[in-house]
Amino acid sequence: MADETTSTEAAGRDFIRDIVAGDLAAKRHATVVTRFPPEPNGYLHIGHAKSICLNFGIAEEFGGRCHLRFDDTNPTKEEQEYIDAIERDVRWLGYDWGKNLFYASDYFERLYEWAEHLIRAGKAYVDDQTQDEMRVSRGTLTEPGKNSPFRDRAVDENLDLFRRMKAGEFQNGARVLRAKIDMTSGNINLRDPVLYRILNAPHPRTGTTWHIYPSYDFAHGQSDAIEGITHSICTLEFEDHRPLYDWFLANLPVPSKPRQYEFARLNLTYTVLSKRVLTQLVRDGHVKGWDDPRMPTLAGLRRRGVPAAALRDFVKRIGVAKANSVVDSNMFDFSVRELLNKTAQRRMAVLRPLKVVIENYPEGQSEELEAVNHPDDPASGTRKVRFGRELFIEQDDFMENPPKKFFRLSPGTEVRLRYAYFITCREAVKNAKGEVVELRCTYDPATKGGNAPDGRKVKATIHWVSAAHAKPAEVRIYNPLFSKPDPTGGEGFAADLNPQSLEILSDVRVEPALATLSNSAEPVQFERQGYFTLDPDSKPDRLVFNRTVGLRDSYAKAAGGKP
């Protein structure tokens, strides 16, 4: 077995891909057909990305097709805004469903006919019990259920009642249609599950045509069968539903019989991936919207600057398994950092500025120096950066009384300014409160470009911007939205929110080249700081950058080892 696993992994395979490959090799199917079936009741999150990459990825790799199907069976929670957002996000991730866009609501008529088919076959009945009565008589994991008093209604009476349910004669919840399977089954899903509910609510696509709507269980598998899905891939919580889906396939005149395979859903530390909780975060104003860069939604990650390719890479790394587990969210950051390290252009920005005056640099003068855009990619070229008498450096690149291992600026020490000169600190100027507000330095004109002709070395290179030329900016730093590795997904989630999830730095200075970035540009690296992307809140005179990810896991250090 161990050997099999190894060869499977080496081929970029997983157990589902192995099944697909086997089915195609055995000619059980001419072509593979998968689908991604979101319910349009919220935005897609990083867990959905796993499912999208799996379903669309398999179709791509095996030359088949993948459908995008909206599972729109619950009109009270579904909105067009979500449909549009889901389409946008799947495309952004890099996948294309072509002509294969479907809606479960397209099948309402057929599903209704199939419900009548079950009634005529004596395999479905209208139940008048209240919801409470039904819950009690369903039994528990250890106790069998009890038959409903309405279970043995005659076929004609069932047909008549079901048609009147459809015609809108009854109040919401007055009756349901149930499958007649087995109230004593060890699998609760087989204890006469509900097929149709009365819901007098308009549907975004079918309007007021329907007064009854199919349950998720009755719609889902049959939609797959109608579309000729060969491999119906879903998460583990549906494993127990598979016998029910197979019962429908066996008892209805369906055009095809898809096979269901279950994989482990993605769970991430410090993250909640439940649409219900994400909806609540938005509704209760804990975040600024579905695309708040702290959200694990694809819209949020995109706004934070995460490239779609990094998400796909992450999904590939975590693989597809049959056992549930929790993935360390640092793994996701790793994928993002690794990609951006290769692709992002380098720029200089000072997040917490401290003024430096170069006393021996002529007043009113400035010069252009050459800076490389990417140290490992000469093809990305160089740009000019302005140097002058007054500069900004990071506050924490200076210490008045440095400990032994601090090699950056302090009174009397010499450091290299990136792409520029060696400078030596002569004096720290303080305000009335004793805070350092300005450094008086001198530079060595012979060290232009950052090397001394006499071969003397410095131990540190720091970044800087020219005070006269830099542009003001705001930087938004995002930390995990939750402060616990396993946040409460249920009612108490608000207590686990991280009060420090957003840090705003409002006095940032960036090199002028950053003012010409377009809104859709890929993130850039601010040297020594991390990767940053322009936020849509930016204005020409006030740039706003989101930190996509730090260079290292800096939050983990600050929090004492916890991310």
Q: Which residues form the interface with ligand ATP (CB under 6 A)?
A: 37-39, 47-48, 50-51, 234-235, 265-266, 273-276
Q: Active-site residue among 13, 265, 384, 440? A: 265
Say if CB 47 and CB 298 are below 8 A apart: no
Residue 304 appears among annotated catalytic residues: no
d(CA 83, CA 102): 11
Residue 87 appears among annotated catalytic residues: no
Nearest-approach distance from CB 185 to ligand ATP, in angstroms: 24
Nearer to ligand ATP, 330 or 554 (CB): 330
Nearest-approach distance from CB 336 to ligand ATP, in angstroms: 19
Nearer to ligand ATP, 133 or 313 (CB): 313
Query: Residue 320: which residues within 8 A CB-CB, separation 6 or more?
Result: 14, 15, 16, 17, 50, 54, 263, 264
Could you give the angle at the alpha carbon of 550 between the alpha carbons of 546 and 555, nearest 5°? 105
Beta-strand runs (E) in 144-236: 176-179, 194-198, 212-214, 231-235
Q: DSSP letter at 297?
A: B
Task: Give me the count of residues in the chain.
Answer: 563
Nearest-approach distance from CB 39 to ligand ATP, in angstroms: 4
Q: How far is CA 441 from CA 342, 421, 422, 457, 549, in A?
A: 35, 12, 10, 18, 33
Q: DSSP letter at 467?
A: T
* Nearest residue to ligand ATP, scored by beta-carbon proximity: 47
Say if CB 190 and CB 145 are below 8 A apart: no
Nearer to ligand ATP, 48 or 386 (CB): 48
Nearest-approach distance from CB 135 to ligand ATP, in angstroms: 21
d(CA 471, CA 305): 21
The neighbour count for residue 322, using CB atoms within 10 Å, is 13
Q: How far is CA 291 from CA 101, 272, 295, 297, 551, in A?
A: 24, 15, 7, 7, 23
Nearest-approach distance from CB 293 to ligand ATP, in angstroms: 20
Nearer to ligand ATP, 225 or 508 (CB): 225
Nearer to ligand ATP, 101 or 446 (CB): 101
Q: DSSP letter at 79?
A: -
Q: DSSP letter at 151?
A: T
Nearest-approach distance from CB 20 to ligand ATP, in angstroms: 17
Residue 45: exposed, middle, or buried by beta-carbon count in 10 A (0-12, 13-18, 19+)? buried
Nearer to ligand ATP, 51 or 335 (CB): 51
Nearer to ligand ATP, 298 or 420 (CB): 298
Say if CB 524 and CB 345 are below 8 A apart: yes
Element (H, E) at 49: helix 46-61
Query: Residue 62: which residues within 8 A CB-CB, separation 6 or more?
Result: 20, 21, 24, 31, 32
d(CA 248, CA 219): 10
Say if CB 442 and CB 426 are below 8 A apart: yes
Q: Active-site residue among 50, 65, 197, 275? A: 275
Nearer to ligand ATP, 280 or 395 (CB): 280
The single-letter code of the amino acid at 29 is H
d(CA 349, CA 471): 9
Say if CB 293 and CB 300 are below 8 A apart: yes
Residue 384 appears among annotated catalytic residues: no
The single-letter code of the amino acid at 167 is A
Element (H, E) at 462: strand 461-462
d(CA 465, CA 467): 6
Nearer to ligand ATP, 89 or 394 (CB): 89
Say if CB 555 and CB 479 are below 8 A apart: yes
Provide the 3-class DSSP secondary structure of residue 255: coil
Nearer to ligand ATP, 235 or 424 (CB): 235
Nearest-approach distance from CB 535 to ligand ATP, in angstroms: 27
What are the catalytic residues?
A: 39, 265, 275
